[in-house]
Structure 1
Amino acid sequence: MEEKYKSLNVIHKSANSRVVTVYLNRPARFNALSRDFFTEFPKALASLDESPNVAVIVLAGAGKHFCSGIEVDTLGSVAGESQSSDPGRTREKLRRDIKFMQDAVTAIERCRKPVIAAVHGACIGGAIDIITACDIRYCAADAFFSVKEVDLALAADLGTLQRLPSIVGFGNAMELSLTGRRFSGSEAKELGLVSKVFGTKEALEEGVRAIAEGIAAKSPLAVIGTKAVLLNTRDLTVEQGLDYVATWNSAVLPSDDLKEAVSAQREKRKPVFAKL
């Protein structure tokens, strides 16, 4: 029996598919991120990561928008809960709260399976933190984005300032983060934040599912290995990165997946890989 969440809806649309969609599920609040989200999201991802019936995870938003960012009440409660008569203890508690919220976003990178963001409508503030941690990003033509924290007298602290520069370039990340301006899906594509813009939300859902199914049909060892190598070598030198991937592949090359891939090529058929 699948677990029920307050802030999420996990949908496995077909028993024959190994693609699962995780919906941010507070449509009445434009999927604003509540305290529940930061507890439930890493738990949901860890569960899906361990399931052999899941190969790819699509992250989407229920209703009219992907996500409007962190709920103001959640921000207020974090600051309020951290109050103490001792300033040092107040700040230490606040730091732990921020690290707790950061950890929920970083759970996307910890997940071995690829996580694909499918963005429609608003993608603001904390939502940018989330999508920059995703492995692939797509959007609908109606999508709009904003690194909004500067307008709330904050520096974005859940990952945007660390991940966005490597995606769109340092100068673009600086401009977007300092101005907090709204930018469109087409500009997001030009910047490299998203890989493709689909005409409608429906086309986005259909297109992303087809892409996800294509990835899910590949060797799971090759897929999780590709994600792991890219993430773990992004801050290494080329030589260090080559050493890392040599170590990784020396562990998995003897797998049955390689034998099946070679046999399928020779026999001109689609390969069939064991679950992971």
Structure 2
Amino acid sequence: MTSPTCFSLSSTDDFVAHLVLNRPEVLNTMHPTFWRELDEILTQLHRDGTARALVISSTGKHFSAGMALETFTSAIAMDDQSPEGRAGVFDLLSDMQTTFTKIESLRIPVICAIQGGCIGGAVDMVTAACIRYATADAFFCIQEINIGMVADVGTLQRLPKLIPFAVVKELAYTGRRLPASKALAYGLVNEVFDTPEAMLAAALQCAKEIASKPPVAIWGTKQAVTYARDHSVEDSLRQMGWLQGAIWSNQHVREAIAAMKEKRAGQFTPLAALQSFKELDAG
């Protein structure tokens, strides 16, 4: 992977990866390079298995102002002049949706630390995360309706699972801003902080706590919770049985209990690195 231009990526000794949107001069807007780099970074984090939690934060006035408007008239202009062109919109959107879905399907939990505006595509992005912290001045806006389109990269599918349905409709139909205080009351964010510094410190501390647990148990928990969100209790219990049978480790349980009693950090096996079947040596 080449060095990213829209992000900076670092890691700590506590197995926490920290991804920062670093183009504040353009309000961290999302253009094709943003999507490509984010996709590459998430793919690498998923495959490596080294990080045990991921914090996504940003720089400048806003977390992100969403899709760069110029892309609608240049790089990703959609052909609405023929059935064939309109049919191609499906594949274009599917590709973009897949990138944000990687946040949800990542083998490690993802925490978003949100300051200022979280607008348009940024709402699509953060709703795919596990945990959201915000500053007191943060707000969320389904901006797409204000520029004549339907939000199409995950907001309308994930937000109703996070906050009341009527609130989603109001925000989606009007394009109004949802301030951090109301986002907290509705359950969209876990906690609100006075400053970006306090918020980021809390996000990193939460990630550190998560990273101190057995990675495979955290991965299994994320799998189970996400599955339960979209399936019946009966189906989810059945899935839980198969999942627990696949990842159960007496060694991890013994080590976790011992570490707790001895008031020390647990020593756990990292997630295995993944390799694409296509990359295996045929010889």
Question: Do the structures match in fold with TM over 0.5?
Answer: yes
**Cα offset for 1:79?**
5.2
Q: Please state how far the C-alpha of 1:63 moved relative to its aligned partner.
A: 2.0
In 2: Cα distance, 1:58 partner to 1:269 partner: 24
**Structure 1 residue 99 corresponds to structure 2 residue 98:** no
Secondary structure in structure 1 of the residue aligned to 2:254: helix
Structure 2 gaps, min length 5:
272-283
TM-score (norm 1): 0.93
1:83 aligns with 2:82: no
Quote the residue 2:156 is aligned against. Answer: 161
Residue-by-residue CA offset, 1:244-272 (whole Å, 9 max, x unaligned): 01110011113521221233345454422
Aligned to 1:49: 46
Q: What secondary structure sits across from 2:108 in the alignment?
A: coil
Q: Does the 8 Å contact 2:111/2:131 carry over to 1?
A: yes
Q: Which of 128, 135, 140 is equivalent to 2:135?
A: 140
Following superposition, the deviation at residue 234 of structure 1 comes to 1.6
Superposed, 1:219-258 pairs within 5 Å as 219-258=214-253
Equivalent-residue separation in structure 2 for 1:21 and 1:250 (angstroms): 32
Q: Distance in 2 between matches of 1:205 and 1:67?
A: 16
Aligned pair in 2 of structure 1 residues 268, 105: CA closer, same or farther (>3 Å)? closer
Cα 1:142–1:273, aligned 2, differ >3 Å: closer, same or farther? same
Where structure 1 has 5 or more consecutive residues not aligned to the other structure, the ranges are none
CA shift for structure 1 position 196: 0.2
Residue aligned with 2:3, SS = coil
- Tell me, what secondary structure is at the counterpart of 1:64? coil
Q: Partner residue of 2:4?
A: 5
Give the direction of change, closer, same or farther, for the CA distance of 1:61–1:220 in structure 2 (3 Å limit): same
SS at match of 1:20: strand
Is contact 1:198–1:204 with CA below 8 Å preserved after alignment?
yes
Identity of aligned residues (%): 35
TM-score norm. by structure 2 comes to 0.90
**How far is 1:76 from its partner?**
2.4
CA distance in 1, matches of 2:250, 2:107: 18
Structure-1 separation of matches of 2:75 and 2:105: 24
Distance 1:6 1:270, change over 3 A: closer
CA distance in 2, matches of 1:255, 1:5: 41
Aligned-partner Cα distance in 1 for 2:49–2:80: 46
SS of the residue corresponding to residue 9 of structure 2 reads: strand
Greater mean alpha carbon deviation, residues 97-106 or residues 193-202: 97-106
Matching residue's letter, 1:61: S
How many residues in Structure 1 have an aligned counterpart in Structure 2? 271
Cα distance in 2, alignment partners of residues 169 and 127 from structure 1:
20
Residues 171-202 of structure 1 show CA distances to partners (whole Å, capped at 9, x for unaligned) of 11111111111121111101111000011011
- For 1:103 and 1:173, the matched residues in 2 are separated by 22
Q: Give the aligned partner of residue 39 of structure 1.
A: 36
- Asked if the contact 1:7–1:34 (Cα under 8 Å) also holds between the matched residues in 2, the reply is no
Q: What is the RMSD computed on CA atoms of the aligned residues?
A: 1.7
**SS in structure 2 at match of 1:234:** helix
Is the aligned partner of 1:262 residue 2:263?
A: no
